[in-house]
Chains A and B, each alone.
Chain A
Amino acid sequence: MKDIILKAENISKQYRLGLVGTGTLKHDLNRWWHRVRGKEDPFLKVGSVNDRSTKADSDYVWALRDINFEVRRGEVLGIIGKNGAGKSTLLKILSRVTSPTTGEIKTKGRIASLLEVGTGFHPELTGRENIYLNGAILGMTKTEIKAKELEIIEFSGCERYIDTPVKRYSSGMRVRLAFAVAAHLEPDILVIDEVLAVGDAEFQKKAIGKMQDISRGEGRTVLFVSHNMAAVKSLCTRAIVLEYGKTVFEGKTDEAVDFYLQTNQYEGFKKEYINNALEGSGIETLQLLDEKGVNRAEFGFDEVISIKIKLKIHENNSKSFLGFRVIDRKDRIVFTSELDIASISDKIGTYDLNVNLPHRFLTPNGYFLTFALHIPNVIMIDYIENCLTFEIVETGSSMHKYAGVDYGCVVVDCHWSILN
Chain B
Amino acid sequence: MSTTPNDEWLYTISSKNKLIDLNFKEIWRYRDLLLLFVKRDITTVYKQTILGPLWYVIQPLFTSVIFTLVFNNLGNIQTGGIPPFLFNLAGITAWNYFNNCLSGTSNTFKQNESIFGKVYFPRVIMPMSITISNLLKLFIQLGIFAGFYIYYLSAGAGLSVNANLFLFPVYLLMMALLGLGLGMIFSSMTTKYRDMNVVIGFGVSLLMYMSAVPYPLSEARKKFPESVATFVEYNPLTQIIEGFRYMLLNTGSFSWSGFFYTLSISIVLFLVGIVIFNRTEKSFIDTV
Listed in ascending order, the chain A residues whose CB lies under 8 Å from chain B are 1, 3-4, 7, 15-16, 20, 24-25, 28, 92-111, 113, 115-116, 119-120, 122, 124-125, 129, 132-133, 136-139, 141-142
Contact = CB atoms under 8 A, between A and B. Distances in A.
A97 B13 contact: no
A97 B117 contact: yes
Nearest to A140: B32
Question: Which of A24, A101, A120 has most chain B Cβ within 10 Å?
Answer: A120
Nearest to A20: B287
Interface string B169-182: 00000000000000
Interface stretch (B36-44, B132-140, B222-230): B36-44
B120 interface: yes
Contacts of A119: 114-115, 118-119
Looking at chain B's contact residues, the main secondary structure is mixed
A124 B47 contact: yes
Given A106-B6, A111-B120, 6 more contacts: A92-B285, A97-B118, A106-B12, A120-B115, A133-B36, A142-B32
B4 interface: yes
B13 A96 contact: yes
A375 B265 CA distance: 92
20 contacts: A96-B13, A97-B285, A98-B283, A106-B12, A107-B13, A108-B10, A111-B120, A115-B118, A116-B118, A119-B115, A119-B118, A124-B43, A124-B44, A124-B47, A136-B30, A136-B32, A137-B119, A137-B121, A138-B119, A139-B30
A129 B40 CA distance: 9
B205 interface: no
B119 A100 contact: no
B13 A99 contact: yes
Please tell me the size bucket of the interface on B. 35 or more
B159 interface: no
B10 A109 contact: yes
B36 to A, nearest CB: 5
Contacts of A98: 282-283, 285-286
Interface in B27-71: 29-30, 32-33, 36-37, 40, 43-44, 47-48
Given A24-B192, A125-B43, A105 B12 contact: yes
Contact of B14 (A7, A15, A100, A141): A100
Contacts of A129: 40
A123 to B, nearest CB: 9
Nearest to A123: B44
B23 interface: no
A107 B117 contact: no
Contacts of A136: 30, 32-33, 36
Contact of A132 (B36, B282, B285, B286): B36
A1 B2 CA distance: 11
Contacts of B40: 122, 125, 129, 133
